[in-house]
Every structure is written in C-alpha cells, then in structure tokens.
Chain A
Amino acid sequence: MEKNQSVTKGIFTAEVVANTVVRDCFRRISLVLDADGSSAFAEAMPGQFAELDMCGAALPVGSAIPKELADCASRQIILRRPFSFADITVKGGSQIELTILYHVLGPATVRMTTLQAGDRLSVIGPLGNGFSLPRSKKTALLVAGGMGSPPLEHLSRFLRDTQPNLDVQFFAGARTLENFPFRANTNAGVSVSEFSHLQGKIHLATDDGSAGFTGFVTDHVAKWLKDNAPVTDDTIIYACGPEPMLAGIAKLAGDKKIDCEVSMERMMACGIGLCQSCAVKATSAGDSVYKLCCKDGPVFDSEDVVFE
C-alpha cells in the first residue's frame, strides 16, 4: 500500500485567512500554518485530520446565534474538534494552507463562525491514516453522504495532480438539494465549483428527488456499477458519510469484490490516542477487536470494519 500517513504530528499555530458561508449552515475556513506546522503538514494525505481548539473563540452576539443552536451555544466547551481537510495547498513556496468545510451545528462550530482573517488558533495534526493511493487502478469512485464530501474533495484534487489519467467519478447524496454542503448547478448537467477540476462526472442523489437520482447514494453507485461494469480489479471506492451509508457501500463493494476504503467518524476527546474513546469495531486475524478511529483510522479498509 502507498504511504498514507504523515508521521510528524505536533501542536501548531494557524492564522485564519478567510471564513466564508457556502450556504445556510455550511461554511469554509482557510488557515495558514506557521513554519513548523507547514513542514509537518507538507506531506499530509487526504483523509487525515486535525484537532482545532475553539475553546477561546467568541460566541456570536445574541441574535446572530441560530435559534436552534441557542441552548447548546451557551455551553462552555473544553475539548478540541476533529476536522478533515477539503484541501491542503502550498502558498508562497512553503506555507501550507488548510481548507476546512464545516457544518454549524453545536457550541464549537457556532464559535468557529466568529473567527476572522488574522485570528490565530491552535491546531494539532496531521492525525490518523488517510486514503491509500490507487496506483494500480483505472477507476476511482468517490462517494459522499451528507457532510462526507470534504476529504473526498481533497482526494479528488490530489488524484488530479498525482494520477491525471485516473477516471474519477464523484457521487454525493443528501436528503434534499439544500442539504449538500456545496452549491450545485443542476441546469445543464451537474456542476459544482469545488469539484470543477474533476475530469469524471459528478453524480447527485437526493432522497426526495430534488436533484439527480431519486434515492440513496448507495443505490446510485450500485446502478452506475451495473450500467458501466468497470473491471473490478481496476476499480476502487472511497467513501465518507453516515455509518449506515458506509455499511451499504462496504456491502456493495464486498459483493462486487471491489476494493473499498471508508472514512469513519467517532466522538473523540483527544484525537491523539490518549482517551481511547473513538473505538471502531473491526476484525483482526478473524477476531473482533476495537481499533481507534484516531490512530488506526479514520480511513479503514471496508472489509476490516464490523458495521453494527
């Protein structure tokens, strides 16, 4: 397997470059790392993550807090929050810029909205294992459910740069058009500015049929595989999203004997292997064991995960 982990993790300072609204409660923040952080993140892979400290960030003033978050926003937070990257780019030769797509849904992310260009925050990373590179493959299916698209956006851009001849197809599913964490133009074919570099197609699926395929993204992928019948050994699936969707993709890949990697999510207190809270049930040499999402994942071979 290709190297998929950057080992030089540490605690660094990052400066906010921009913090903008994508749509509704979805936002993108860009952070430039200090010199040490830039060298640590220079080799970071799509699917790895960082722990951001929002404990010192301010709450929005009064009515600027979304009504549905008002109760939880008043909670004093003490833990960092883990985020994968929507992109990692090099600025001015050696400075590393992290782009994070986030969903404002709790006391930490509501604080995150008040960060402005020039603000500094503490970042621990790069953490965990990212996606492996599909060197021997001809087709890669990137499958995102709901908020699962950021690491796949990073991966798609990474694959364009490293394997330009790879056929990359991006599938995204959501309940309805407004729930995609990006703006999709669905007029003449589907286009999404964040995925404009993609050479393959963008396939949307919505539960209510408001855009693209009507139904789950897993069913959409199954249909595509049936219609296009790619050579299984030449194909790989990368998936990130809610666990039932990952379980569905893992089963589909298993049935079709297609390699598949899934990016898992767990509540984490630390992200660095101290707290043992982010257990993922997995098989190891036939035995059922708990692995840690933060150290052994968050990207796992789908065959290794025991979905419950």
Chain B
Amino acid sequence: MSKDSLNKNIDISVDFAGLRLKNPVLTASGTCGYADELSDFFDVSGLGGFITKSITLQPRAGNPTPRVVETDSGMLNAIGLANIGLERFIAEKLPIIRELSTAVFVNVAGKSIEEYVAVIGKLAQDDGIAGFELNISCPNVKEGGITFGTDPAQVTKITKAAKDVAAGKPLVVKLTPAVTDITVTAQAAVDGGADALSLINTFTAMAINIETQKPILANRTGGLSGPAIKPIAVYLVNKVYNEVAGPAGVPIMGLGGIRNASDAIEFLLAGATTVAVGTASFAQPQTAMRVVEGIRQYCQRRKIAKVEDLIGHLQ
C-alpha cells in the first residue's frame, strides 16, 4: 500500500460537543487573533477548529506595557483582554470568519453574567459561528474572569445562563488551574450544561527584575503559559477525564504548552478529545498544522485507524 493511500484511510476527525471536526487540533484563544493574522502563514481552514480572541460587550484597551515577559520554557502575559468589542467584531471580523471552512468558536468574556449573556445572545443566530467558549479563567482583569471560574456556584450559574441563550450551539467552558480541586469546577460546569470543557488556562505568576526590584509586568502578575506548564496540564486533563468528564460523557479540549504532535498525543491519551495550540503559535505560526500532520503520521506508524481510538487510552 502506498503511503498516500494509507494516509487517506486514517480517520483523524473527531466528535466534539456535537460537532464533527475534521481533525482534533484547534488554535487557542488569544494566541491566534481573529484568523486574518494567521492566514498570512497557512490556510486556517485546515484546522479542526479556531477559537477567537476573547470578545467583550464593550471594547477594551487592555493593560499598560510591559504585557509579556519570557520565562524559563514559558512566558507570562497580562494583556488584559484587549479586544475590539462586540460591535466591531460583528462588523469587521465576522465576515472573515464566515468564509472559513473550519469550526469557529467565539471566546466570550465579561464583567457580569449579563455581559456574557448579551454577547452570546447577539451572536448565537450567526451561521458562521460553530460554538462558544466561556472565558471564566482570565487571571489578568480585576473584575469577572477568574473570579467567576473559582467559585463552583458561579460556574454553574454562568454556564446555565450562557447555555440558555446559545440557541443550541455548543458551549465550551474554559477552566482555570488556580483552584484547590479542578474536578469541583469541572463538575460545576457540567452541572450547568457545558457541552465541553477546555483546560487549562494560564497559572497566575510573577517575574521580578532584580535590578529595579520591581515586577517586570506592568500588571505585576500575569498568566504563565508554554512548555513549562504542559506536564501539569496533562495531569489535570487526565484527572478531570477520569473523575468528571469521562463518566459524564462530556469531551475535553486539552491545552497548555503544546508545541508538537507528541505533546498533543499526550493530551489525547490523557483523555482530551481535542487539543489547542497556544503560545507555540507566537514563535512558529504554523505549529497547529504541523501537529495535525504529526498526529496523522503517529496513527500511521502505530497502525491506528481512527484518532478517536487514542482518546483516554492511557494504560
């Protein structure tokens, strides 16, 4: 059998929150803009899915600079949810997004449940949007964000409120690792009707300039991402898969430090149905497409007919 014909026989599509995705690889919110930026480097339609930068009801300017700093095998960011706001998103970015033949999830953030509901309600009828990701785990804003994501009762409440206005579109709830037991917030999201869970968001962290004796980031703290957090992310995905998501039949999108197919396959084996590439896209914009190809090659080498057979296959 030739290499090409074997490739065609490997099914790398996955069922995720009621959608059939062409492959399990997405790009993570806040690391891939609104798709037009990445389109300079590859055809975004080759992705399993695409998650927009967070959208809030009103535009947000974001935090003062420095907003990022590289750390050992990682980076801190404190962008502060800088975004163009719902109105300009609809006018300027939705027309571009509608042209993509990949599943586009709009990541939604807000200061109050009413804001989340307003944004999702306004976008829910749009055919160009496959679903929503609820950002209740941003560590870099004073109100909303992570304050919702650490309180199980709030997680259930906001998930339910968002689900009610999502017009049947799948709702992914993005979890923070900054809790004592992530299975509690995962269960809270499932109880609220989440169609999928994405984990993990960044860890709140700090880097200090020892000459000025001040934090490097203007926001003082930022979210740690990149390869430094990957082993923790794999562990937490496995824990949530075993204790909450697996039994409830709710799929997981795994993310945290993925920069190649090997990293992605670890997440699939740990229990993730899909993976998202984040920080790695900054240095290598085409990383996500390389991950897709690497997963295909792994399946071929291991004689795995369906990528779905890998999910939670940890021995």
Contact = CB atoms under 8 A, between A and B. Distances in A.
Interface residues of B, number: 36
B297 interface: no
A290 B61 contact: yes
8 contacts: A76-B227, A78-B226, A267-B65, A275-B68, A276-B53, A277-B77, A277-B79, A290-B82
A277 B74 contact: no
A262 to B, nearest CB: 16
Contact of A274 (B38, B71, B227): B38
Given A10-B40, A272-B285, A275-B79, A75 B61 contact: no
A270 interface: yes
A223 interface: no
Q: Residue among A79, A273, A289 with the most chain B CB within 10 A? A: A79
Contacts, number: 96
Interface of A: 9-11, 53, 55, 75-80, 122, 124, 266-270, 272-280, 289-290
Interface string B51-71: 001000000011011111111
Nearest to B77: A277
B109 to A, nearest CB: 14
Contacts of B227: 76, 78
Contacts of A275: 30-31, 68, 77, 79, 282
A274 B67 contact: no
B286 A11 contact: yes
B47 to A, nearest CB: 14
B73 interface: yes
Given A53-B283, A79-B75, A276 B62 contact: yes
Nearest to B60: A290
B73 A76 contact: yes
Contacts of B77: 269, 275, 277
A274 B31 contact: yes
A293 to B, nearest CB: 9
Q: Residue among A77, A79, A276 with the most chain B CB within 10 A? A: A276
B70 A77 contact: yes
Nearest to B83: A276
- Main secondary structure, interface of B, reads loop
B281 interface: yes
B245 interface: no
Q: Residue among B32, B40, B62 with the most chain A CB within 10 A? A: B40
A79 B285 contact: no
A277 B33 contact: no
Interface string B121-150: 000000000000000000000000000000
A55 B74 CA distance: 12
Contacts of A274: 31-33, 37-38, 281-282, 285
Contacts of B32: 274
- Main secondary structure, interface of A, reads loop
Contact of A11 (B37, B41, B61, B66): B41
B4 interface: no
A268 B68 contact: yes
A158 to B, nearest CB: 25
Contacts of B68: 267-269, 275, 277
A53 B158 CA distance: 42
Interface in B272-315: 279-286
A55 B38 CA distance: 21
A272 B73 contact: no
A80 B227 CA distance: 15
B99 interface: no
B75 A269 contact: yes
A13 to B, nearest CB: 13
Contacts of B31: 274-275
Contacts of A77: 70
B286 to A, nearest CB: 7
B33 A273 contact: yes
Contact of A79 (B40, B53, B82, B282): B282
Given A78-B75, A276-B79, A11 B285 contact: yes
B84 to A, nearest CB: 11
A78 B74 contact: yes
A223 B242 CA distance: 73
Interface string B18-55: 00000000000011110001101100000000000100
Contacts of A122: 284
Contact of A78 (B33, B61, B70): B70
